[in-house]
Chain A
Amino acid sequence: MAFLEVEDLKVHFPIKGGIFGRTIDHVRAVDGVSLSLEKGKTYGLVGESGSGKTTTGRAIIGLEKATAGTVTFDGQDITNLKNKSDVRKDVQMIFQDPYSSLNPKKRVLDIVSEPLRNYENLTKKEERIRVQELMELVGLSPESILKYPHEFSGGQRQRIGIARAVALKPKLIIADEPVSALDVSVQAQVLNFMQDIQEELDLTYLFIGHDLGVIKHMCDNIGIMYRGRYVEEGSTEEIFTNPQHIYTKRLVAAIPDIDPKNREAQRQFRQEVKTEYEQSFNDYFDEEGLAYQLQPVTETHRVALPEKG
């Protein structure tokens, strides 16, 4: 059994309607997602807005109620776990926007020590020392614990968010677009740092993102989501060099090439993929335009294709 095992996870949100505001239908935000993640690895969950990638992450950590399916972490079933158990302490989340995810009225000391206060009984002094250690770990000066979030730059704030996430020495971190709101040079800083602490603390990452450049850089395995379902899953290598699903191909083709010499070729390639996408859409998606069940290609590579026969 893998370190994190998600089995057929579903998160459906009711749609209210009609004169009496009854539930008339459901939005299938996550519709049967399965993934498994090995300890110490980074798994990338990719998709466009509305694909359900963030909801998946939130359901794993319990911020969203799973309609069906199971989440097993380190051998324990943590599906819809609400209480502050030790398992919850082992799974933490980093949020997208470092500007809104930190309470502007609290000092860094209070922000970072909040999870400590929830789970551990420390004296004021011990708490302060722990926070100072954490600040050093994320590369911020220990004196800055009495400052407020607005006194920091975007990259520094994101590192404060990370300090809060690693305060309880978690084993799994769910990072929801941790660098999307940051400039490239700051992004580099945060990505480097995430790699460093991964090694240092033996962390496992579930990295949610839409920037394929970043995902490619960070992840060992990647799952591609489209409208609540997986369309393809495989190692980074397999996804980028040998994409099987037309949706993945299109996504990969859409990444701008950093070399201006390839401009024309890239444009042409993208045009070809687009034509293929339009022509063969019905071969890759069912009548509702949703992805099929995943079929194995290799041991690690799975693609959503209709069953043959």
Chain B
Amino acid sequence: MSDKLLEIKDLKTSFRIKDDYYAAVDNVHLTVNKNEVLAIVGESGCGKSALAFSVMGLHNRAKIEGNIYFKDQDIANLPPNKLNKLRGKDMGMIFQDPLTALNPLMIIGDQIGEALLLHNSELSKTQRKERVIELLNKVGIPRPEHVYEQFPHELSGGMRQRVVIAIAIANDPELLIADEPTTALDVTIQSQILDLINELKEDMDAGIILITHDLGVVAEMADRVAVMYAGQIVEVADVHTLFNEPLHPYTRSLFDSVPNKAEAKSKLHVIQGIVPSLQNLPREGCRFAPRIPWIDESVHEEHPSLHEVAPGHFVRCTCYKHFEFPGESSEEEEQHGVSRS
């Protein structure tokens, strides 16, 4: 694990609600290496997108504490003019919803061309157009000359996502952040887009952060995986370790709630209670503890930190050592969890 591309140290991203700041991302340490896909997994509200936005500097009114080293430069709270030299050039981002991620009034060619124009002013107009067409080809869009002149609404969702990807990779970035790139797409389109990202990874030599809630996508794409819950990373491991030997109670619960793995018509595992809202996040102790109340409180750490249980495999809190799924009583639990909420 050499070639450190991005190193996040003790990142805390807080949003202001009324008069207080609430951390959506808390105490996050992460590294992304060159030529590696790091998947960040978690459910909505876990802070995975807030983390990505912090790296790209896309938050509007957030307080960002800690350090984000990109190629040894701390880019947390970098002033916009310096950040804009990196964004779109060394760092590219793919967004979730291709239907809204493109400007409806601009032709495709200009939207991709803009990324080139901003970072590569030596290119002449014709060179730029050539490069855009080359990019459209690269992301697998048929008839690129024609698509160049088209508006977003004339393209299908899958095609638009390819355009969004073309924008992100226009300047051969070293870091590519993909925020739920296939969530809004049909399965067959999803597999095409994932294959495309894989191909691009091979010839770009870039590091990729893949944000997703879909464990299937993680299994297919990731080299390493970070699992987030309530703003914190609860487990990090390489993909094989994580899928074979998940340790943190949250990771294990997540795996058990996916229908793909379970026997048809069997009961899926249900995590008790609900994901706490930003204002109600437990700030003390193990944040997952309220959702596994049958586990004795004493097994949680007072200030849970990430422990390296094997080389490269980190788990937060010590409760994993004592965690067990409750027998066949998942139905009762559910009732339980609900009445508490």
**Interface residue ranges, A against B (CB under 8 Å):** 48-49, 139-141, 153, 155-156, 183-189, 191-193, 195-196, 210-214, 216-218, 236, 250-251, 253-261, 263, 266-267, 270
A–B pairs, 22, beta carbons within 8 Å: A48-B186, A48-B188, A49-B186, A139-B338, A141-B339, A156-B274, A156-B341, A184-B257, A185-B253, A188-B271, A189-B334, A192-B268, A216-B259, A217-B268, A251-B187, A254-B188, A258-B243, A260-B239, A260-B243, A263-B219, A263-B220, A267-B220
Bound-complex Cα distance A188 to B261 (A): 12
Residue of A nearest to B194 (CB): A256
Range for the number of chain B residues in contact with chain A: 35 or more
* Per-position 1/0 for B38-66, Cβ under 8 A of A: 00000110000000000000000000000
- Across chains A and B, the number of contacting residue pairs, with CB separation under 8 Å, is 128
Residue of A nearest to B259 (CB): A217
Bound-complex Cα distance A185 to B218 (A): 16
Bound-complex Cα distance A160 to B264 (A): 25
Residues from chain B with a CB closer than 8 A to the CB of A192 are 267-268, 270, 330-331, 334
Residue of B nearest to A49 (CB): B186
Extra pairs beyond A216-B259, A250-B188, A253-B191 (15, CB < 8 Å): A48-B188, A49-B186, A183-B275, A184-B43, A185-B253, A185-B270, A187-B259, A214-B259, A217-B265, A251-B187, A255-B260, A256-B219, A258-B258, A260-B239, A263-B220
Q: B187 near A255 (CB under 8 angstroms)?
A: yes
Distance (whole angstroms) from the CB of A189 to the closest CB of chain B: 5
Q: A258 near B339 (CB under 8 angstroms)?
A: no
Q: B268 near A191 (CB under 8 angstroms)?
A: yes
Residues from chain A with a CB closer than 8 A to the CB of B331 are 192, 196
Residues from chain A with a CB closer than 8 A to the CB of B268 are 188, 191-192, 217
Q: A139 near B270 (CB under 8 angstroms)?
A: no
Q: B274 near A188 (CB under 8 angstroms)?
A: no
Bound-complex Cα distance A212 to B190 (A): 13
Q: B264 near A266 (CB under 8 angstroms)?
A: no
Among B43, B191, B216, B239, chain A packs the most CB atoms within 10 A around the CB of: B191
Residues from chain B with a CB closer than 8 A to the CB of A217 are 259-260, 262, 264-265, 268
Distance (whole angstroms) from the CB of A219 to the closest CB of chain B: 8
Known contacts A185-B43, A188-B270: A258-B215 contact under CB 8 Å: yes
Is B269 interfacial (CB 8 A cutoff)? yes
